[in-house]
């Protein structure tokens, strides 16, 4: 985990150095100060750009450990606090999307598996195709058009109450539902062939118990893995969705930073995303271990 | 050659679900190629007197906010998106083949280094990384293309590397090695041709994703710049008129949906028949921590 | 002349299976009876239809298989007429199953205790505590040491032999009329096979439960069966009293089986 994080941080650091535009000049232009020799020199010193490459990197890492992500070129406030202030909205959005996705895909996957090759199965297949093929930003506008503009059921923008989160969450959940329901279906079908399912039925357990208690915890594992790995895609989605629905979250802030060439913010956001992804994978692994005790054994052995 | 026979094996069965989508896709591709002939008007011709009109004889799908013909823009947009997607995917596959084979076949330190780099890059969500690169280089289709190439080739590298590692252990490969074939020849003549069927399936699916990425980035204003017609950019321009003229948003989106859906159908049908298709975005991120390997053969987005 | 009670009465059972090559008759016109407290052993090679017969009694035939006609009566009740729910009530309570491979029969992700207790609580109104006590009693009756500890363990933490005895204990827990044992010793080594045979012998001695024992291991059949039924290709070749059949087999096929002395050791399992 740590080496990946370090590697990602290096990539991040490199990002800024790849720019053809001198960061110092960018800073000045954003602040509306005319770049002269003098001002450039001051800024360079301020940003630590006059030091050798590796020294900059180490210094930067050290700052990161102290949770100092630098100062935004645009707002002049610490990046860390700016991002932290907007975190709740994004977290809420991501969480509710995931929740909706699971609530819909689990019954859908079960129905598709149990009624294999019948109506429900085909419906879920079509839904899955749509989910994988529809552009998220377009779906957002479709929902806006039909639900907000025509029906006036939902607000168009903002993030004040829970209603504001409905349309954005559905937008993000759609693609997830597509993947998860099919994964669950496949996992269930494989699982239902297992001998322990036969034995569970032979013991006279109710179907509900067999599926809910015995089969589900095995069949859901690919979904857990997928969820962990798709976390990154989910956050990429929040960037677009937050902009469309004008929600004051981290994603929207990142996008603004992109347009303003606010490099510290960009850097900070990318780094946080890498961290979130790794956290997501770890969590997924832990859930896997909980679901299957055999993994706990092998994980213990690896140390 | 064996490659062609392999391909035939893939496509041969289940003609119905492959032929119809392929035919439809071909129609769209041809429409794009022959856009100059098919388009009723110049897609970039601005005429404010005709702005925001509904469908008519002159403008079969109506006009946008600058009086440009919607249908013509959609047709030319097909050219833009498909050629960009093809460009990006070709570059990615090439890079992936080179680096992936290098890593997979050589093994050892080289493999380790390449994989570590891939891991580090993969830790950052691809779209966000792409946006960041564009932020640094500035908006434009060239920058977007390079950004997407960088981000996507990592997946291909990982995926191909995995397959090469597998193939390397096959008996006929070992036999050829014993006979003293040089590594380069090994890779080009023995390993890569056997990769191609699976790669083909995966590429079919990935082109769809690339098209979505291109449209998403252009929608954000970071990719294809106006006045060049691009579906995502068109949706961006049309969004202000959602109440009055939803047509401006709906039409481009429908096209994206159709193209990507067709590609997905084709890709999944091919994959089903062979059980080989591993969704790249999943396989690539499934690093060495794969438990038991039973989920290696995971299925597609659907 | 004592009238022995008939626990299981199967008449002209016929099962067909849909395969890639078309429909095959897996079981044809099979008729037999099992008396109370007795053991019926079914012998035959793989694919002779013995497992299908067992599964059909339990109502757990695979989707590709179908009962064409025939009747199966458990204590006078017709099984083929029952709804899925009625069958479910019978399974685990009146009729229980012991499978060949105990390692795969239990859900690897759930403790033995939970799986045992859930079976008990499905069929009887028991509190968690009471069910646990019952489970411990059942395990003790199988001479399993440290039953409380066993309940807390996962299947992969226990050996095949122990799991098999646990499965037998579970099958006895609701005091069924009939236990169906499908190749119960095939996956075990000699020592464990001996333990399992002992367990079945004590069940037989107690006299409350009948056993339908399927095996291709003749030593197991010889050691336990009161009656023997020889099957081949879905048909009954010969059936009758065990001692007589083993001493004087009438049919050619039966003679061949006895001569070949199919044992676990001579087969590559």
Nearest Cβ partner for A132 among B123, B132, B301: B301
- How far apart are the C-alpha atoms of A197 and A299, rounded to whole Å? 26
Q: Do A125 and B289 touch (CB under 8 A)?
A: no
B226 pLDDT band, cuts 50/70/90, is confident
Q: Do B298 and A183 touch (CB under 8 A)?
A: yes
Cβ neighbours for B248, distance < 8 A, ≥ 6 positions apart:
B64, B65, B70, B234, B235, B237, B238, B241
* pLDDT in the model for residue C45: 83
What are the pLDDT digits (tens) for A280-298? 888 888 888 888 887 776 6
* pLDDT in the model for residue B12: 55
* Residue appearing with tokens 């990602």: A8
> Rg for chain B (alpha carbons), in Å?
22
Cis (ω within 30 of 0) for the bond into C208? no
Residue B271 has pLDDT above 50, yes or no: yes
- How far apart are the C-alpha atoms of B176 and B182, rounded to whole Å? 9
C250-267 burial, b if ≥16 CB within 10 A, otherwise e?
eeebbeebbeeebebeee
* pLDDT in the model for residue B289: 37
* pLDDT in the model for residue A54: 76
Total beta-carbon pairs less than 8 A apart between chain A and chain B: 169
* pLDDT in the model for residue B239: 85
Strand partners, C23: C18
Q: With the C-alpha atoms ordered C250, C254, C259, C265, is the resulting torsion angle positive or negative?
A: negative
Contact A164, A229 (CB under 8 A): no
Of the listed ranges A136-150, B40-54, C234-248, the least confidently predicted one is: B40-54
**How many angstroms separate the CA of residue C209 from the nearest CA in chain A?**
17
Helix, strand or coil, per DSSP, at residue A157: coil
* pLDDT in the model for residue C6: 87
Q: With the C-alpha atoms ordered B282, B283, B284, B286, is the resulting torsion angle positive or negative?
A: positive
* pLDDT in the model for residue B213: 92
Q: Do A199 and C99 touch (CB under 8 A)?
A: yes
Instruction: For chain C, give percent helix, strand, coil, nearest 5.
Output: 40, 25, 30
- How far apart are the C-alpha atoms of B291 and A39, rounded to whole Å? 56
User: Which of residues A8 and C130 earns the better pLDDT score?
Assistant: C130
What is the dihedral angle through the alpha carbons of A139, A143, A146, A152, rounded to the nearest 10 degrees?
A: -160
Please, which chains are in contact with A (at least 3 CB pairs closer than 8 A)?
B, C
**How many angstroms separate the CA of residue A300 from the nearest CA in chain C?**
15
C1 pLDDT band, cuts 50/70/90, is very low
- How far apart are the C-alpha atoms of A232 and A277, rounded to whole Å? 6
User: Which of residues B172 and C142 earns the better pLDDT score?
Assistant: C142
* pLDDT in the model for residue B9: 57
Nearest Cβ partner for A205 among C104, C106, C118: C118
User: Which of residues A261 and C2 earns the better pLDDT score?
Assistant: A261
* pLDDT in the model for residue A20: 66
- How far apart are the C-alpha atoms of B282 and B155, rounded to whole Å? 9
What are the pLDDT digits (tens) for C161-192? 889 999 999 998 888 999 999 988 888 888 88
User: What chain A residue is nearest to C55 in terms of C-alpha separation?
Assistant: A202
Closest residue by Cα to residue C78 from C70, C89, C67, C66 = C70
> Is A209 in CB contact (< 8 Å) with chain C?
yes
Q: Do B298 and A222 touch (CB under 8 A)?
A: yes
- How far apart are the C-alpha atoms of B95 and B157, rounded to whole Å? 7
> Is A8 in CB contact (< 8 Å) with chain B?
yes
Q: Do A133 and B285 touch (CB under 8 A)?
A: no
Q: Do C109 and A292 touch (CB under 8 A)?
A: yes
Cα atoms in the Cβ-side hemisphere of radius 13 Å centred on B263: 27
- How far apart are the C-alpha atoms of C44 and B280, rounded to whole Å? 49
Closest residue by Cα to residue B132 from B118, B116, B115, B146 = B146
What are the pLDDT digits (tens) for A243-260? 998 888 899 899 988 888
Residue B86 has pLDDT above 60, yes or no: yes
Residue B291 has pLDDT above 50, yes or no: no
Task: Please give the mean pLDDT across all residues of chain B.
Answer: 79
Closest residue by Cα to residue A195 from C60, C242, C269, B187 = C60
Residue B292 has pLDDT above 60, yes or no: no
- How far apart are the C-alpha atoms of B179 and C171, rounded to whole Å? 61
Q: Do A209 and C123 touch (CB under 8 A)?
A: no
Of the listed ranges A48-62, B82-96, B266-280, C239-253, the least confidently predicted one is: B266-280
If one counts every other C-beta atom within 10 angstroms of the C-beta of residue A283, the result is 14
Strand partners, C180: C97, C212
Nearest Cβ partner for C88 among A199, A206, A291: A206
Q: With the C-alpha atoms ordered A101, A102, A104, A108, is the resulting torsion angle positive or negative?
A: positive
Beta strands C210-214 and C22-35 are unpaired
Residue C263 has pLDDT above 80, yes or no: no
> Rg for chain C (alpha carbons), in Å?
18
- Tokens representing B235 are 């949706």
User: What chain B residue is nearest to A256 in terms of C-alpha separation?
Assistant: B135
Residue A11 has pLDDT above 90, yes or no: no
Which H helix or E strand runs over C77? strand C77-78
* pLDDT in the model for residue A298: 62
Sheet with strand C95-98: strands edge to edge: C95-98, C178-182, C210-214, C39-43, C227-232, C235-241
User: What chain B residue is nearest to A257 in terms of C-alpha separation?
Assistant: B135
DSSP, res A282: H
- How far apart are the C-alpha atoms of A74 and A97, rounded to whole Å? 31
- How far apart are the C-alpha atoms of C117 and C103, rounded to whole Å? 18
What are the pLDDT digits (tens) for B58-77? 777 888 888 888 888 888 88
**φ and ψ at residue B121, rounded to 5 degrees:** -70, -35
pLDDT-above-90 percentage for chain C: 16
Nearest Cβ partner for A196 among C92, C104, C123: C104
Please, which chains are in contact with B (at least 3 CB pairs closer than 8 A)?
A
Nearest Cβ partner for C97 among A194, A199, A291: A199
- How far apart are the C-alpha atoms of B12 and B26, rounded to whole Å? 18
* pLDDT in the model for residue B282: 46
Residue C264 has pLDDT above 80, yes or no: no
- How far apart are the C-alpha atoms of B118 and C80, rounded to whole Å? 60
Nearest Cβ partner for A198 among C60, C119, C122: C60
* pLDDT in the model for residue B214: 94
- Longest Cα–Cα distance of chain A, Å, equals 85
**How many angstroms separate the CA of residue A107 from the nearest CA in chain C?**
22
A21 pLDDT band, cuts 50/70/90, is low
How far is residue B237 from each of residues A203, A239, B240, measured CA to CA in Å? Answer: 63, 19, 7
Would you give the distance in Å from CA B149 to the centre of its chain?
A: 10
Nearest Cβ partner for A205 among C97, C104, C122: C122
DSSP, res C33: E
Q: At what angle do helices B15-33 and B247-274 cross, to 10 degrees?
A: 140
Task: Please give the mean pLDDT across all residues of chain A.
Answer: 83
Q: At what angle do helices A2-17 and B126-137 cross, to 10 degrees?
A: 20
Strand partners, C40: C212, C227
DSSP, res C172: H
DSSP string, C214-265: E-S-HHHHHHH-SEEEEEETTEEEEEEEHHHHHHS--SHHHHHHHHHT--GG
* pLDDT in the model for residue A139: 92
pLDDT (average), residues A45-54: 72
What is the dihedral angle through the alpha carbons of B225, B227, B233, B237, rounded to the nearest 10 degrees?
A: 130
If one counts every other C-beta atom within 10 angstroms of the C-beta of residue A125, the result is 17
pLDDT (average), residues A141-165: 80
What are the pLDDT digits (tens) for C194-253? 888 888 998 888 888 999 999 888 888 888 889 999 888 888 888 888 888 888 888 888
Residue B188 has pLDDT above 50, yes or no: yes
- How far apart are the C-alpha atoms of A103 and C75, rounded to whole Å? 45
Cβ neighbours for C259, distance < 8 A, ≥ 6 positions apart:
none
Instruction: For chain B, give percent helix, strand, coil, nearest 5.
Output: 75, 0, 25
Residue C226, classified by CB atoms within 10 Å of its CB into exposed (0-12), middle (13-18) or buried (19+), is middle
pLDDT (average), residues B272-300: 43
Q: Do A209 and C118 touch (CB under 8 A)?
A: yes
* pLDDT in the model for residue B287: 40
pLDDT-above-90 percentage for chain A: 16
Contact B135, A276 (CB under 8 A): no
* pLDDT in the model for residue C212: 92
- Longest Cα–Cα distance of chain B, Å, equals 76
Q: Do C60 and A195 touch (CB under 8 A)?
A: no
User: What chain C residue is nearest to A214 in terms of C-alpha separation?
Assistant: C107
Contact B163, B173 (CB under 8 A): no
What are the pLDDT digits (tens) for A90-101? 999 999 999 999
**How many angstroms separate the CA of residue C234 from the nearest CA in chain A?**
22
C and B touching (3 or more beta-carbon pairs closer than 8 Å): no
CA angle B171/B175/B176 to nearest 5° reads: 120
User: Which of residues B18 and A193 earns the better pLDDT score?
Assistant: A193
Nearest Cβ partner for B128 among A125, A239, A244: A239
User: What chain C residue is nearest to A293 in terms of C-alpha separation?
Assistant: C109
Strand partners, C71: C11
> Is A203 in CB contact (< 8 Å) with chain C?
yes
Of the listed ranges A52-61, C153-162, C171-180, the least confidently predicted one is: A52-61
A and C touching (3 or more beta-carbon pairs closer than 8 Å): yes
Q: Do B128 and A278 touch (CB under 8 A)?
A: no
What are the pLDDT digits (tens) for B124-169? 888 999 999 898 888 888 999 999 999 999 989 998 888 888 887 8
pLDDT-above-70 percentage for chain A: 92
Total beta-carbon pairs less than 8 A apart between chain A and chain C: 71
- How far apart are the C-alpha atoms of A41 and A38, rounded to whole Å? 5
Residue A106 has pLDDT above 50, yes or no: yes
* pLDDT in the model for residue B285: 45
Q: Do A132 and B302 touch (CB under 8 A)?
A: yes
- How far apart are the C-alpha atoms of C31 and C232, rounded to whole Å? 14
Q: With the C-alpha atoms ordered A191, A192, A193, A197, is the resulting torsion angle positive or negative?
A: positive
The pTM assigned to this predicted structure is 0.81
* pLDDT in the model for residue B93: 92
């Amino acid at each position: 985990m740590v080496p990946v994080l370090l590697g990602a941080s290096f990539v991040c650091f490199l990002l800024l150095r790849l720019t053809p535009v001198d960061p110092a000049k960018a800073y000045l232009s954003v602040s509306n100060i005319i770049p002269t020799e003098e001002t450039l020199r001051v800024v360079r010193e301020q940003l630590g750009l006059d030091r050798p490459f590796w020294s900059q990197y180490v210094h930067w890492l050290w700052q990161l450990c102290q949770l100092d992500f630098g100062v935004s070129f645009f707002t002049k406030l610490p990046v860390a606090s700016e991002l932290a202030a907007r975190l709740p909205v994004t977290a809420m959005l991501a969480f509710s999307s995931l929740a909706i996705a699971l609530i819909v895909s689990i019954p859908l996957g079960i129905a598709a598996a149990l009624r294999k090759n019948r109506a429900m199965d085909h419906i879920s297949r079509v839904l899955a195709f749509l989910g994988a093929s529809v552009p998220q930003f377009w779906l957002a506008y479709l929902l806006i058009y039909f639900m907000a503009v025509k029906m006036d059921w939902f607000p168009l923008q903002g993030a004040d109450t829970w209603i504001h989160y409905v349309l954005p969450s559905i937008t993000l959940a759609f693609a997830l539902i597509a993947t998860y329901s099919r994964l669950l279906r496949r996992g269930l079908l494989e699982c239902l062939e297992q001998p322990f399912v036969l034995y569970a039925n032979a013991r006279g357990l109710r179907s509900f118990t067999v599926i809910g208690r015995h089969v589900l915890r095995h069949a859901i594992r690919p979904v857990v893995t997928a969820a962990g790995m798709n976390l990154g895609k989910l956050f990429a989605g929040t960037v677009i969705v937050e902009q469309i629905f004008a929600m004051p979250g981290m994603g929207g802030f990142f996008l603004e930073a992109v347009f303003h060439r606010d490099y510290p913010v960009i850097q900070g956001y990318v780094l946080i995303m890498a961290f979130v992804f790794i956290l997501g994978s770890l969590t997924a692994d832990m859930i896997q271990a909980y679901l299957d005790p055999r993994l706990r054994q092998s994980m213990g052995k690896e140390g | 050659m064996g490659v062609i026979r392999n391909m035939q094996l893939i496509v041969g069965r289940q003609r119905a679900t492959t032929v119809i989508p392929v035919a439809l896709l071909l129609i769209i591709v041809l429409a794009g190629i022959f856009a100059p002939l098919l388009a009723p008007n110049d897609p970039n011709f601005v005429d404010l007197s005709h702005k925001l009109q509904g469908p008519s004889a002159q403008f079969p799908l109506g006009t946008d906010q600058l009086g440009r013909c919607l249908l013509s823009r959609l047709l030319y947009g097909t050219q833009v998106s498909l050629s960009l997607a093809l460009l990006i995917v070709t570059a990615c596959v090439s890079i992936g083949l080179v680096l992936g084979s290098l890593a997979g076949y050589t093994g050892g330190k080289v493999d380790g280094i390449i994989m570590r780099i891939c891991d580090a890059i993969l830790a950052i969500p691809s779209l966000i990384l792409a946006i960041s690169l564009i932020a640094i280089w500035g908006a434009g289709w060239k920058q977007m293309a390079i950004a997407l190439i960088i981000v996507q080739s990592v997946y291909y590298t990982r995926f191909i590397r995995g397959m090469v590692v597998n193939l390397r252990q096959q008996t006929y490969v070992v036999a050829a090695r014993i006979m003293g074939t040089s590594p380069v020849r090994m890779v080009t003549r023995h390993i890569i041709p056997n990769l191609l069927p699976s790669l083909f399936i995966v590429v079919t699916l990935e082109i769809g994703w690339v098209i979505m990425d291109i449209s998403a980035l252009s929608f954000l204003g970071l990719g294809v710049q106006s006045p060049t017609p691009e579906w995502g950019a068109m949706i961006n321009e049309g969004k202000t008129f959602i109440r009055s003229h939803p047509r401006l948003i709906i039409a481009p989106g429908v096209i994206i949906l159709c193209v990507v859906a067709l590609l997905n159908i084709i890709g999944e049908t091919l994959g089903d028949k062979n059980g080989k298709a591993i969704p790249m975005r999943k396989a690539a991120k499934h690093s060495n921590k794969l438990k038991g390997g039973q989920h290696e053969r995971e299925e597609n987005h659907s | 002349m004592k009238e022995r009670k008939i626990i299981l009465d199967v008449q002209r059972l016929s099962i067909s299976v849909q395969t890639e090559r078309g429909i095959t008759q897996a079981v044809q016109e099979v008729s037999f009876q099992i008396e109370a407290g007795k053991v019926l052993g079914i012998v035959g090679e793989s694919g002779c239809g013995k497992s299908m017969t067992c599964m059909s009694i339990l109502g757990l035939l695979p989707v590709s298989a179908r009962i064409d006609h025939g009747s199966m009566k458990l204590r006078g009740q017709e099984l083929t007429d029952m709804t899925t729910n009625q069958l479910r009530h019978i399974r685990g309570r009146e009729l229980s199953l012991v499978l060949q491979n105990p390692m795969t029969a239990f859900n690897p992700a759930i403790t033995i205790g939970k799986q045992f207790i859930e079976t008990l609580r499905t069929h009887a109104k028991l509190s968690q505590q009471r069910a646990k006590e019952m489970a411990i009693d059942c395990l003790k009756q199988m001479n399993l040491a440290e039953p409380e500890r066993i309940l807390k363990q996962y299947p992969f933490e226990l050996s095949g032999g122990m799991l098999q005895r646990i499965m037998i204990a579970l099958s006895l827990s609701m005091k069924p009329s009939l236990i169906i044992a499908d190749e119960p010793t095939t996956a075990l080594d000699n020592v464990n096979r001996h333990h399992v045979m002992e367990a079945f012998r004590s069940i037989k001695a107690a006299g409350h439960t009948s056993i339908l024992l399927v095996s291709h291991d003749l030593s197991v059949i010889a050691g336990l069966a009161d009656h023997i039924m020889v099957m081949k290709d879905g048909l009954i070749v010969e059936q009758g009293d065990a001692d007589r059949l083993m001493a004087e087999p009438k049919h050619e096929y039966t003679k061949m089986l006895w001569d070949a002395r199919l044992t676990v050791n001579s087969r590559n399992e």
